[in-house]
A and B are shown apart, each in its own frame.
Chain A
Amino acid sequence: MTQTQAQTRTQPRPLDGCRIVDFTWVRAGPWATRWLGALGAQVIKIEWPLREFGRAGGAAGAPPGITPTLNTGGNFNDTNANKMSLSLNVRSPRGMEIIRRLISVSDAVVENYSASVLENWGLGYEELKKLREDIVYVSMSGFGHSGRHKHYTTFGPSAQALSGMTFASGLPGKPPAGWGWSYLDDSGGMYIAFYTLAALFHRQTTGRGQHVDMGQMIMGATLNGSALLDVTINGRSSTREGYPPGNRAHWPGAPLASGYRGRTVAPHNSYRTLGGGYNDWCTIACFSDEEWRNLVCLMGSPDWATDPSLATLQGRLENQEAMDERIEAWTLTLEKYDLMHKCQAAGVRAMPVQSNEDRAEHDPQLRERGLLREVEHPELGTWRMQNAPFVLSESPAVNHRHAPLIGQDNEEIITGILGMSREELVSGYSDGTFWPDSLDLYPYQKELLQ
């Protein structure tokens, strides 16, 4: 059974005792460090309210009835769980001195700025090493820190375009459908988290730190599956008739070639279901003649389906248009979850298309596994937060804290971790080190200064 939050909080976590200086922003980097925080690292997010892109607004900004501020973004709360916040102007001499002190007592520095930013701040890897010789430094810029285009920049969609991933999504003969979100921010975040862990593991076994220099576009190029070997070894272009084949494994009428999703089979498609709503679709795939016969039987063995022309894979691939139309006439008579259960019970692979609402409200599997669990936030109240998709039996990943209010942890970091005096803390608020003059202080900051 899935462990409860109360049980897991008492267990040790893999990164207990590990401190990470977190310069990440927007999505990819913050998504990475929130998992490192869940695994026990003390993640210190370095922020400056005048150059803040993640905390404000957007579709998943403040929920209805709550005033939008830097502290009330819903998506920010989920993306930045498990971290502390230090509001700090690193472009001021005092701010830079503080960050250098902090790095000298930290294990890792993680960032996803453009390639030259940390270097220009005087915090390139060679400098970081002087502050702490075995520091782990993980960066993800658009194109990496070397090469002719290192000064080029990306965000998710442009990295997806450049890496071949956008092209590989869509219907043949139409413009690419591409990706409906920044997949390379999500998977870039996964890579940053995995690589930070791997570099920390390397340090655990050898005592040595290093710089792991990643590029988002380059990382995307690794996710093309077998398509790149079909180019470099077989010389096959993906600019060809019938590619990409939509949701099918192969587009009927086009020359047979792999669609780079797995086996070339039919049926292999999405079909409308009862209700006719925007997300009333179900996907069905038959990976063998037996699975097809199971589907035929489930549909009540209509004449069109028992026709010998569909008994073979070759026949089904050739006759996909007519076959898919008939299958859809049947799927339209069933609600999508009902269809899934009936198919699965009959030995047919089927899954509904799920919206965000469906995953949050209608998916009993995610509910049972506890993917969404409540965490309290001081200004937003209690909300469901996304949990790890894995259970570690001895050292679980746990969301233990809401996203920090901006600068919420300045006192603990400055006077606690760095051992500076209260006077130094207070003066930093009047000289522009911890907060800009141009912005009002939030109540919790005023309280701190009293």
Chain B
Amino acid sequence: MTTQNSAGGPFSGVRVLEVADEKGQWCGKLLADLGADVIKIEPPGGESTRTVGPFYQDSFGPERSLSFWHYNTSKRGVTLDLASEDGRGLFRKLAAGADVVVETLAPGCMASLGLGYDDLKALNPRIIVCSITPFGQTGPWRDYLTSDLLHLSVGGQMGSCGYDDVPDAPPIAPGGGQAWHMGGHYACMAITAALIHRGNTGAGQYVDVSVHESCALTTEGAMASWIYNGKTMIRQTGRHAGVAPTAPTQTLCKDGKYVNIQLLAFRLSPAQVRQLGEWMDRYGMAGDLLDDKYQDTAVIQEQADHISEAVRSFINNMTRDEVYEGAQEMGFSWGAVRAHDELPDDGQLNDRGFWVQVEHPDLGETFTYPGPAAIWSDSPWGISRRAPRIGEHNEEILCGELGLSRAELSVLAESGVV
């Protein structure tokens, strides 16, 4: 395990102001762990996402949300009441020196506070303002209320996910807060494109991201299936939805766990059938797959169901990891269906330095956090600090940078501005 430092990330030197709940905190984290100086602006008392579980040691508290910890690494935190003129004034001062603002308030809300793109542009022509909202700033549904579940419903995810072998099962929305991830990924793309554009031209701009559209774009070929072929999707257990039923891929192993296999038996080459047969033979379960008749493509195609059945029955009698690792060593892209708690023991993740140690000095503890999707050779990813405590950097930023005296900060705190 390694502790990485984000000092050299690709966004080093980029200052981001984040006024965001669950819709924008992932975007902010992705930028912060890649080196951006993200200042999270929270209402006095803390952002609403601090009260989302799970909680540290299962006991509630705004400084104990593991969800907040996860989504707010590498950021600094300042509290400002944007409903007060004092708070707005301080926000304007921060915006004058910022590169990017990420905000997730309801459409029009920032403008009604006098903090819309046009207001901020007047202070800082180079600023990039990115709004991430459920439906974007325009359109008939723009004011509708949503949630992660609701986005996966209307965005099309549930239309493709579910069961074909469980009676009365509903369409299923996969977990993990994916709607916010999808919106965050597109927001990061758009913000980075805007930063490059600013590097080329000097001009900032306004970015309007729709979570609904981001989700609607994230169902692989489903949209094209309708547009080009007029086909809707059939939900199938543990595998791709199809325009027509396809063979199961999720297969039960003898230890009660599942492996995801891609076995299009009719496409196997004679060499692959031989390979499978030899593998199965090591456990005395080759059946007739080593028979020379399978060295003929025509026979393989004709006997595809039989071959599938033989392999499935072999898998049923093996442990999941025997199947996963054995198949991968032979070049089959099969995957073990793993629970979250199995990931910390994964050798490959450990070899890649995936897990990082993050200090929580206030708790006197160091915890293991999930790390980066990629290794960057010249601008390393890293978690520079744990999520900020409420108002943790008020003095550092409001006094240290904006020049408030500690007495002024105290007065503002007294009246609930910070």
In the bound complex, residues from chain B placing their C-beta under 8 Å from that of A200 are 196
Identify B66's interface contact among A178, A234, A348, A355, CB under 8 A: A234
Would A210 and B376 count as touching, CB distance under 8 A?
yes
Residues of B with C-beta under 8 A to A229: 54, 66, 69-70, 367, 369-370
Please give, as numbers and ranges, the residues of chain B lying within 8 Å of A263 by CB-CB distance. Answer: 51-53
Q: B147 near A349 (CB under 8 angstroms)? A: yes
Interface string of B350-376 (1 = CB under 8 A from A): 011011000000000001111111111
Asked if B154 CB lies within 8 Å of chain A CBs, one says: yes
In contact, A236 and B54 (Cβ under 8 angstroms): yes
Interface residues of A in 165-205 (CB under 8 A from B): 165-171, 174-183, 185-187, 190-191, 193-195, 197-202, 204-205
Add 13 more A-B contacts to A74-B228, A161-B260, A355-B232 (CB < 8 A): A60-B228, A157-B240, A167-B340, A178-B174, A180-B219, A183-B218, A218-B348, A230-B54, A231-B341, A236-B341, A237-B341, A246-B170, A260-B177
- At the interface, yes or no: B104 with Cβ under 8 Å from chain A? no
- With A12-B201, A179-B161, A389-B209 as given contacts, are A371 and B240 in contact (CB-CB < 8 Å)? no
B158 near A239: Cβ-Cβ < 8 Å: no
Interface presence of B150 (CB below 8 A): yes
Task: Determine whether A8 belongs to the interface, using a CB cutoff of 8 Å to chain B.
Answer: no
Considering only CB atoms and an 8 Å cut-off, how many residues of chain B contact the other chain?
155
Given known A201-B199, A210-B378, contact A279–B348 (CB-CB < 8 A): no
The reply on B416 being an interface residue by CB < 8 A is: no
B156 in contact (CB, < 8 A): yes
User: B231 contacts A59, CB within 8 Å?
Assistant: yes
- CB < 8 Å neighbour of A178 from B58, B169, B206, B239: B239
**Could you tell me if B146 and A351 are in contact, using CB atoms closer than 8 angstroms?**
yes
Whether, in the assembled complex, B339 has its beta carbon less than 8 Å from a beta carbon of chain A, the answer is yes
Within 8 A of A (CB), among B218-262: 218-233, 235-244, 249-250, 252, 258-260, 262
Q: A177-B161, A194-B189, A247-B170 are in contact. Are A201 and B196 (CB under 8 A)?
A: yes
Residues of A within 8 A of B208 (CB): 390-391, 393
Known contacts A234-B58, A237-B341, A393-B207, A60 near B225 by CB under 8 Å? yes
Looking at the complex, which of B271-279, B284-292, B326-334, B399-407 is the stretch in contact with chain A?
B326-334
In the complex, residue of chain B having the shortest beta-carbon distance to the beta carbon of A380: B228
User: Is B216's beta carbon under 8 Å from chain A?
Assistant: yes
Minimum C-beta distance from A67 to chain B (A): 14
Docked-complex contact A239 and B339, CB < 8 angstroms: yes
B239-A157 in contact (CB<8A): yes
Residue of A nearest to B209 (CB): A390
B391 on the A face (CB < 8 A): no
The minimal Cβ–Cβ distance linking B298 to chain A, given in whole angstroms, is 21
B5 within 8 Å of A by Cβ? no
Q: Which residues of B contact A237 (CB under 8 A)?
A: 339-341
- A181→B153 contact, CB < 8 A: no
B78-86, B105-113, B180-188: which one contacts chain A? Answer: B180-188
A273 to chain B, nearest CB (A): 12
Question: Given the complex, which residues of A lie within 8 Å of B154, measured CB to CB?
Answer: 283, 351-354, 363
Task: Give the chain B neighbours of A246 by CB distance below 8 A.
Answer: 170, 172
Whether A232 pairs with B377 at a CB distance below 8 angstroms is no
Question: Which of B37-45, B133-141, B307-315 lies at the interface?
Answer: B133-141
Q: Are A158 and B262 in contact (CB under 8 A)?
A: yes
Q: Tell whether B200 is near chain A: CB-to-CB under 8 Å.
A: yes
A281 near B158 (CB under 8 angstroms)? yes
Query: Which one of B10, B252, B343 lies within 8 Å of A201 (CB-CB)?
Result: B10
B153 touches A352 (CB 8 A): yes
Instruction: Name which of B148, B176, B235, B334 has the most chain A CB atoms within 10 A of its CB.
Output: B176
Which chain B residues lie closer than 8 Å to A64 at the CB level? 229-230
Interface residues of A in 351-400 (CB under 8 A from B): 351-360, 363-366, 368-369, 371-372, 383-384, 386, 388-395, 397
A53 at the interface (CB under 8 A from B): no
Could you list 10 examples of A-B contacts with CB < 8 Å?
Answer: A64-B230, A159-B335, A176-B238, A232-B367, A239-B341, A281-B158, A353-B153, A360-B227, A393-B117, A397-B190
Expressed in whole angstroms, the Cα–Cα distance for A239 and B225 within the complex equals 35
Shortest beta-carbon distance from A351 to chain B in Å = 4
In the complex, A371 Cα to B173 Cα: how many Å?
22
A211 with B377: CB separation less than 8 A: yes
B384 within 8 A of A: no
If A147-B351, A161-B259, A395-B193 touch, whether A389 touches B214 (CB-CB below 8 Å) is yes
Counting chain A residues whose Cβ lies within 8 A of the other chain, the interface size class is: 35 or more
Q: In the complex the two chains form, what is the Cα distance from A346 to B236 in whole Å?
A: 35
Q: Given A214, A228, A268, A393, which contacts B343 in the complex, CB threshold below 8 Å?
A: A228
Contact with B along A130-144 (1 / 0, CB 8 A): 000000000010111
Tell which of A219, A233, A397 touches B367, judged by Cβ atoms closer than 8 Å: A233
Bound-complex Cα distance A268 to B199 (A):
45
The 9 lowest CB-CB distance pairs between A and B, nearest first, are A74-B228, A158-B335, A389-B213, A180-B160, A210-B378, A147-B351, A169-B174, A161-B335, A202-B10
Q: How far is the CA of A437 from the CA of B243 in the complex (A)?
A: 36
CB distance from B69 to the nearest CB of A (A): 6
Query: Would A60 and B166 be within 8 Å (CB), given that A147-B351, A154-B333, A391-B207 are in contact?
Result: no
Partner of B169 from A171, A201, A368 at Cβ < 8 Å: A171
Quick one: given A221-B343, A354-B154, are A170 and B172 in contact (CB under 8 Å)?
yes
Report yes or no: B53 in contact with A264, Cβ–Cβ below 8 A: yes
Tell me, rounded to whole Å, the shortest Cβ–Cβ distance linking B143 to chain A: 8
The smallest C-beta distance from B56 to any residue of chain A, in angstroms, reads: 6
Which among A78, A279, A390, A394 is the interface contact of B197 at CB below 8 angstroms?
A: A394
Q: Considering the chains assembled together, what is the distance between the CA atoms of A291 and B136 in angstroms?
A: 23
Q: Is B304 an interface residue (CB 8 A)?
A: no
Output the nearest chain A residue to B136 by Cβ-Cβ distance: A369
Contact A169 B171 (CB under 8 A): no
Q: Of B67, B171, B349, which contacts A279 at CB under 8 A?
A: B171
**Max chain B Cβ within 10 angstroms of own Cβ: one of A160, A181, A358:** A181
The reply to whether the CB of A39 lies closer than 8 angstroms to some CB of chain B is yes
Contact between B149 and A268, CB atoms less than 8 A apart:
yes
